[in-house]
Structure 1
Amino acid sequence: MGRKRRVWIPHVYHHIYSRGNNRQNIFHDEIDMTEVFRLLDMIHIEYPISISVFCILTNHYHFLLKSESASISKVMCIFNKRYTDYYNRKYHHIGHVFQQRFNSSPVLTPQNLLKVSRYIHRNPISTYMPMAMKMEDYPYCSYQYYKTSTPPPYSFINIHDLPSSLYPQINKTASQYCQYVESEI
């Protein structure tokens, strides 16, 4: 029996995540993290993508990704394949790098977009042993760009869509978005 087809809705962000095989670490150092961004930048040149939230931890990643011209299956297939090739060469690894094909779900409402983004951004401080004391201090998460107003270094990172998802009665700014993410759940 074949796999269920992926849902792809252009103009909608999708929560995409994948984990290392057997929950093993697949991002070991700064060079591995840099490779993630290099690959996403290369993909962005051929298939324009927009990532409003990302968090790359040692054994998994999360993206809120939107692709208007190519399916997310195509985009993520390229990403996972290229990262696997890189990883296998660098670490002389044979076999699966990722536990399974990536997981994804479209995020259809502004409220859900905010909830998913909060979950992703809080990952580094919510782990069993926190990877950072403050979300903005974790270097492989997009939260730093919202908190510090530092322009993202890559054109595929879009920090403008999330604040516009805030409830109508709230000022739609990055600062208000950060207050939402940092508030107690």
Structure 2
Amino acid sequence: MPELSYLQGYPDHLQAQVQQLIQQQRLGEVLLQRYPQVHGCTTDKSLYQFTVELKNQYLRNTQPLSKVAYDSKIQVMKHALGLHTTISRVQGGKLKAKAEIRVATVFKNAPEPFLRMIVVHELAHLKEKDHNKAFYSLCCHMEPSYHQLEFDTRLYLTHLSLFGELYE
């Protein structure tokens, strides 16, 4: 049986169900039924617009985003799906902080709900730095099905690691 590295924190009964889907070669089928098509945000510019729209809808009073981009250097295997960074630069006599969000390029060809979950997660870091109760409450405020989407994204990554691309 393959190791379910993306699902390690989940209960044994859920992992057993996923193992059964893998053995029956049905994991991809289940994902395609739930999420039949990919999003249209294939460029950094469209990803930036997508992210800013979500930010403006839920987090107007947070610092502006200076950059949102896909990043091929993000190692999904190391459990990072996206990154939120604040870069400090000296401009004149002042220290300026710029917020950037980077999303793993593996999500260029993924369903829109998975991309939205990752963007919501990274946007929540603008207000809450730690993964605490307030952080997850904010994620659920911006995306009510956040926890289900996170689980399904982990299923998608499991499928990618075992069988390769799901969406051609």
Do these two structures clear the TM 0.5 threshold for a shared fold by scoring above it?
Answer: no
TM-score (norm 1): 0.24
TM-score (norm 2): 0.26
